[in-house]
Amino acid sequence: MAAPATADICDANAAHVISGDLRVLQQKFKIYGQRRAFSGPIVTVKVFEDNVLVRQLLESQGEGRVLVIDGNGSRRCALLGGNLGQVAQSMGWAGVVVNGCIRDVDEINNCDVGVRALGTNPLKSNKKGLGEKHVPVHIGGTLIHEGEWLYADSDGILVSKFELSVE
């Protein structure tokens, strides 16, 4: 099933926008991967220039969820590459949002997964296993909790406290 359009979600849920239950990520993300639009419940991870925990989470069953990676906006290395893009696809993740960089763009663009990132960097990350899984993250002026819902398309990214409809 295709993800509903973010504009339609906003229009149909104006009261949730006003209450703050539905928020727009203000950060400007670039679009990668074959899924131009995706949605699902959020799993969070907070890391800094280290993607060991990212790999651990992506190697678990995605079940249509979205991994939100708070890399503190660092552009000094990539937190996701082609191999992890393939892992995300094979494990059933709907998408990955990276507050940081990715690499192996051509490989990621061949994956049936939605990816959003600040940009690219060919340098791989550290492998020390530092960071925190399943914690609230703060990206683009928005506090994001695990279990909330993320909706992404070409217009932007929305975060909601609960699953939304466009009726």
**Which residue numbers belong to the known binding site for substrate?**
81-84, 103
Q: 3-state SS of 30-47?
A: EEECCCCCEEEEEEEEEC
**SS3 (DSSP) at 117:** strand
Q: Which residues are annotated as a binding site?
A: 81-84, 103-104
Annotated binding site for Mg(2+): 104
Evaluate whether 91 touches 121 at the Cβ level (below 8 Å).
no
Q: How far apart, in whole angstroms, are the C-alpha atoms of residue 68 and residue 23?
A: 15
CA atoms within 13 A on the CB side of 100: 29
C-alpha gyration radius of the chain:
15
Contact by Cβ (8 Å): 70, 139? yes
